Amino acid sequence: MSTTNGQWRGVIEEYRDLLELPEGLAAVTLREGGTPLVHSEWLTGLTGGEVWLKVEANNPTGSFKDRGMTAAISVARHEGAEAVVCASTGNTSASMAAYAAKAGLKPLVLIPEGKIAAGKMAQAVVHGAQIIMVRGNFDHCLDIARGLARDYPVALVNSVNPVRLQGQKTASFEVVDFLGDAPDFHLLPVGNAGNIAAYWLGYQQYAELGRATRRPVMRGFQAEGAAPLVTGEPFPDPETKATAIRVGNPASWHLAEMAAKESEGRFAAVSDEQILAAQVELARHDGVFVEPASAAGVAGLLAELSAGESYAGRTVVITVTGHGLKDTATALETFTDIVDTVVDADVAAAAAAAGLA
């Protein structure tokens, strides 16, 4: 009965039987999911294992948030909501605004003061979201979003809404469907911790169904300035250039700890310098340009290798969570000279400048 001529249908239609969603739910979809696992020759060479990148930039709004948003917005519309609200470090609002537009719902965004990457802000604004900037950090915004959803007729679509995780867990289904089994290790950036919880849900479900023979060890990486899962204490003033993981008190703290514990995994912190260096190296070795937060898993792998950890002979999946074009200002900060040389409009001059002549 597919009318899509083989086109990927979006995560609800592709995996409906495996998702806890209302019976007969009509999907609000932009054909999210179905993202590539890109083989990293670079990290495979460094580790002596097999390293794959789950490239979530290839979602409709450029981050993995779309997987959960198709579910949350579909349910909000199903339940008769007229408006939807989220607290956001940027990508949740970009995704919510797009899916709300598709569904005809009014999107309301709460962002922390002065901390949103321009690309993400542009997405929310152009899709028609009403933007409210809060004098406070992400955690304050989430408190307000929860309060609005409690006291007013708006649906909360942050990942504290369990429906989001139902959509997000499809990323692990895709990994197993592609590799034929679960990897040995799964590494990813962790901020509000919904994603690591969702991946673990998905891997467990596939193992229980017999679609995977094992479950991966989950390793989550946070920025040093926002590493509550590493220290065990909330960060009242989280600070990092990796704004998508600038969260001091993760909403899915408990679920994330369970994922690490049950998988015999762990959390570790990486510095902003390590994150930004990994971002550039990934772009130059593998041709994959990600936003700073998205490079935290790669930075984590590199730090572990330096510390003597071995991934030899193991299959490793690293989720790179969002697109580099969302935050070009931070990406370019480390480059002092963007233009190498200026020449006249002349082949010989260009050849000389390029060192060809």
The interface region with ligand PLP, picked from 24-32, 104-112, 291-299, 329-337 by CB under 6 A, is 291-299
Distance, in Å, from the CA atom of 70 to the CA atom of 11, rounded to the nearest integer, reads 8
Number of Cα atoms under 13 Å in the Cβ half of residue 257: 13
Work out how close the CB of 267 gets to ligand PLP at its nearest, in angstroms, rounded to a whole number: 11
Distance, in Å, from the CA atom of 178 to the CA atom of 180, rounded to the nearest integer, reads 6
Token pair of 160 as six digits? 């504290």
Q: State which of positions 58-77 bind ligand PLP (CB under 6 A).
A: 63, 65
Q: State which of positions 316-335 bind ligand PLP (CB under 6 A).
A: 321-322
195 among annotated binding-site residues: yes
Using the rule CB under 6 A, which residue among 257, 291, 304, 327 binds ligand PLP?
Answer: 291
Residues sharing a CB contact under 8 Å with residue 347, sequence separation 6 or more, in sequence order: none
Q: State which of positions 246-275 bind ligand PLP (CB under 6 A).
A: none
161 among annotated binding-site residues: no
Token pair of 334 as six digits? 């480390």
Using the rule CB under 6 A, which residue among 192, 249, 279, 315 binds ligand PLP?
Answer: 192
H/E segment holding residue 187: strand 185-189
321 among annotated binding-site residues: yes
Kindly state whether residue 88 participates in binding ligand PLP, applying the rule CB under 6 A: no
Q: Do 165 and 256 touch, CB atoms closer than 8 A?
A: no
Distance, in Å, from the CA atom of 27 to the CA atom of 11, rounded to the nearest integer, reads 9
How do beta strands 106-112 and 130-134 pair?
A: parallel
Work out how close the CB of 305 gets to ligand PLP at its nearest, in angstroms, rounded to a whole number: 22
Q: Which is nearer to ligand PLP, 138 or 185 (CB)?
A: 138
Beta bridge partners of 86: 109
59 among annotated binding-site residues: no
Work out how close the CB of 140 gets to ligand PLP at its nearest, in angstroms, rounded to a whole number: 16
Kindly state whether residue 279 participates in binding ligand PLP, applying the rule CB under 6 A: no
Q: Do 241 and 279 touch, CB atoms closer than 8 A?
A: no
Kindly state whether residue 194 participates in binding ligand PLP, applying the rule CB under 6 A: yes
Q: Residues interacting with ligand PLP, by CB under 6 A?
A: 63, 65, 91, 159, 189-195, 244-245, 291, 293-294, 321-322
